[in-house]
Structure 1
C-alpha cells in the first residue's frame, strides 16, 4: 500500500504534536542478551537478530508502509523469542508511530485518500499491550514507562498516562523525557478537570444515542457531527460505511476516533447513576463470567494449538470486538461428525494476534487454552453463548506411584519429541514458513512437569482429523492421550504428511 510520508520530525515530535513522548520515537538495535532462561541455540538467535535488523531498517524509512513491514518482522521474531525486551519495545514503538501518523492526518486527507482501514486506536491498544508486558519484564527501564505512557496518551487516557510517568520517575527521578512528559500531562489534566459551571445540565435526549436510545456510553463523534455509543456505531458499520443518522460516507472505522473525552466526562459527572447502569450493562456483554462462553462455530481445536481465523460475518465481528474489550477469550466449537450438531466438547481459545481489515473484518490468531463441555447454549445478538463446565484429566496425588510413572513417561516422550523437532527443522531449512512454524511449536513445548498440557501439545505436532481431536478433548486419561500422541508422531516418522 502506498501512503505519503508522515509529518516531518518537527511536527511529529513530542514537543509539537503532543502525541508521543521523547524516547518512544526510535528503536533499539541489539536483541536482548542470549543467556539464561529463554536463551536460544546460536543459529536461531542469529535468525532472530536478522529479523530485528530488517525491522529496524524498515522502521527508519519513516513511511507508513514500511512501519507495517517492521511490525511483521518484529512479530515473527517475537514468535521465536517471546517477551524479548528489545523486540517488544521495537514493535511497541512501531505501533505508536502508526497510530501517531493516523491521528495527525487531517480530515480532508482521510476523505480524499482513505487508507485501507488502518485504525489509530487499535494500533495504540496493540502498543499498550506490548508496553505493559515490557514494564512487567523491565520494571527498572525508563523506556518501558515512556512507551506505555505514549500509548496511553494516544488513547487519551491522560490520568493513567500521568500515573505511569510518575511510576517511571520513581525508577529514575532525573529522566529528562519523563520530567517533560509529566509537565505536559499536568497541563492536559488541568484542562480536563478545570473549572466548569456549577450548573448541572438538564437530562435531555441530547445525551442519548440515536441507535440504542439510551444514555451515550463511550461516545464517539463522527466527522459529520453526530454522536453514538462506540459499540452501537461498531455494530451499525458492520453493514455499511455511512453515518447511521445522516448517511454521510465515513472513511473511518468506529474506533478510528477515540472516545470524546469532554462529552464522556460531562455524562459521567452529571448522570453518575445512569452512567453506572450503562457501564454495568456493557460489562455484562464483554465479561460474561467464568462459566459463560461466547462460541465461534467453525472447527475443533485443542489446547496448545494455534489457529488463524478470518472474521467476516457481522455477528462474529461484534462478538470478537466484545471479547477484545474483555478477556480476549471465546470458545471454538465444531460440528460433531457423528451427530451433525454442535460438538459437546470444545476448547477455550485466546486471541493472541488481531489485524483489522479495511471493511471491518479481522484476521486473528487464537491459541487453545482450556477445554470444556457445553451444558446449554442461547442466542445473544446473533451468536451463541454457552453455559459450560470445565474438563480436566484425572489427577494422581503427588508422590503416588501413578504420578511418578506418568512424569517419567512424559519426560521420555518429551526427549523423543525434541529429537523429532530437531530433525524436522533441519529438513525444513529451505522452507522458511515451515521452519518458523517448527520453531514456534518447539518454543510452545510445555514442561514435562505438566503432563496434561504436554499431551495436547504433542498432538499438535501432527495434522489430526476433527473426530480425532474431539476424542482427545473427551479423554480424561493423560497417559492414554500421551500414548495416542506418540502413535501419531511415529506414524508421521514413517512417511505420513508433516503438518
Structure 2
C-alpha cells in the first residue's frame, strides 16, 4: 500500500505471516492488480519534519480507550486502506502517506472529514470483511504534498460492498456495535480479573525465559478500569500476536465472549511457556550435575 507506518512501540506493524483459508470470514474484492501488488507497509522511525505547511490537530485526551457507540445498523461510505495488521478501537497509528492516490484521498478527507477505514490484508492480498474506522487527530502536510498522520481507532465496521477502486478504494460499510452483556457486572469483573491473572503469568514466565512481552503490562493495568469492552480491545491489540486470532477477536460483537477467548488464549500461552521453562530448568540441572 502507499502508507508508511510510524507505529508507537506497543503497536508494531509487521507483514503478516498468515494467510486466510477459503473458510475464513474474509473475501478478496476485485481490485486492480496494481493495488494488490503494491499493498505493502514498511516500518520506519518517526522523524520530526520542519518543512510542513499545514497542520491540524484534534484533542487526543480521552480517545485512547473510549469505545464509541453509534446507532444500530448505521450504513455509510468511507475510503478503505488495507493494512498488514489488525487495528482495534483505541489503537494509535502514525502513518506516512506518499503515493499519489492516497494524496488525493487526503485532500478529500480534509474537506469531508478526517476518518477512513483500516482493514487487515495478508500477504496474499485477501482482505478481511471487518475492520476499524480510524480518526485523524493530527495531520501534517509537507511542501512536497506528503502527509504525516496520527490516527486513533474508533468504531468497528463490516464491509457491505466495494463502491469503487480508483483512485483509491471506497466501500459501503455497516458500523458494528458491542452487544449488551447478559452477564451480571460482578461476573464480568471476575472474567476481567481472570484474563489479567493469565496475563501476569505470561509476563512472569516471559521474564524468566528472557522473552520480551509485546505490551507493557505495568503501564497499561489501569486502562482496564475504563470499561470491559475497552479492556478486551486493549488485551487483543497489545498481547495477542497471531493475526488470525486478532481478526477473530475484532469480529466478535460480544465483550464477554471476547474476554473469555482472550483468557483461553493467554492460558494456553502460559502453559506453553511453563513447559519451556521446565525443560530449560531440567537441562540446567543436568548441566550442573555433570560439572
- Are 1:370 and 2:148 counterparts? no
Which structure would you say has the larger RCO, counting Cα contacts within 8 Å and 6 or more residues apart?
Answer: 2
Greater fraction of residues in strand? 2
Pick closer, same or farther for the CA change 1:365–1:487 going to 2, 3 Å: farther
Quick check: 1:342 aligned with 2:127? yes
Is 2:90 the counterpart of 1:304?
yes
Q: Taking structure 2 as the reference length, what is the TM-score of the superposition?
A: 0.56
Per-residue CA shift, 1:353-388, capped at 9, x if unaligned?
Answer: 444455322333333221111111212751122111
Question: Is structure 2 residue 115 aligned with structure 1 residue 359?
Answer: no
Given the alignment, which residue of 52, 58, 69 partners 1:119? 52
What secondary structure, in the 3-state scheme, does the structure 2 residue paired with 1:382 have?
A: coil
Displacement, 1:301?
A: 1.8
For 1:353 and 1:492, locate their aligned partners in 2 and report how far apart those are by CA, in whole Å: 38
Unmatched tracts of structure 2, length 5 or more: 1-7, 9-48, 62-73, 277-291
Aligned to 1:438: 216
Alpha carbons of structure 1 residues 319 and 446: separation in structure 2 relative to 1, 3 Å: farther
Per the alignment, in what secondary structure is the counterpart of residue 156 of structure 2? strand
C-alpha spacing 1:315/1:407, structure 2 compared with 1 (3 Å): same
Q: Which has the higher helix share?
A: 1
Q: Which residue of 2 aligns with 1:392?
A: 177
| Counterpart-to-counterpart distance in 2, 1:463 and 1:407 | 21
Q: Please name the residue that 1:232 is paired with.
A: none
Contact 1:336 1:467 in 2 (8 A): no
SS at match of 1:390: strand
- 2:102 equivalent in structure 1: 316
TM-superposed deviation, 1:459: 1.1
What is the SS of the residue equivalent to 2:88?
coil
- Aligned mates of 1:358, 1:303 — CA distance in 2: 32
Q: Retained in 1: the 8 A contact 2:162–2:171? A: yes
Q: CA RMSD in A?
A: 4.1
- 1:216-227 matched pairs, under 5 angstroms: none
8 Å contact kept, 1:461–1:489 = no
Taking the aligned partners of 2:78 and 2:219, their CA distance within structure 1 comes to: 27
Does the Cα contact within 8 Å between 1:421 and 1:442 map onto a contact in 2?
no
Output the CA distance in 2 between the equivalents of 1:445 and 1:296. 28
TM-score (norm 1): 0.35
The residue that corresponds to 1:482 in the other structure is 259
Stretches of structure 1 that go unaligned for 5 or more consecutive residues are 1-75, 77-115, 134-288
Rg comparison, structure with higher value: 1
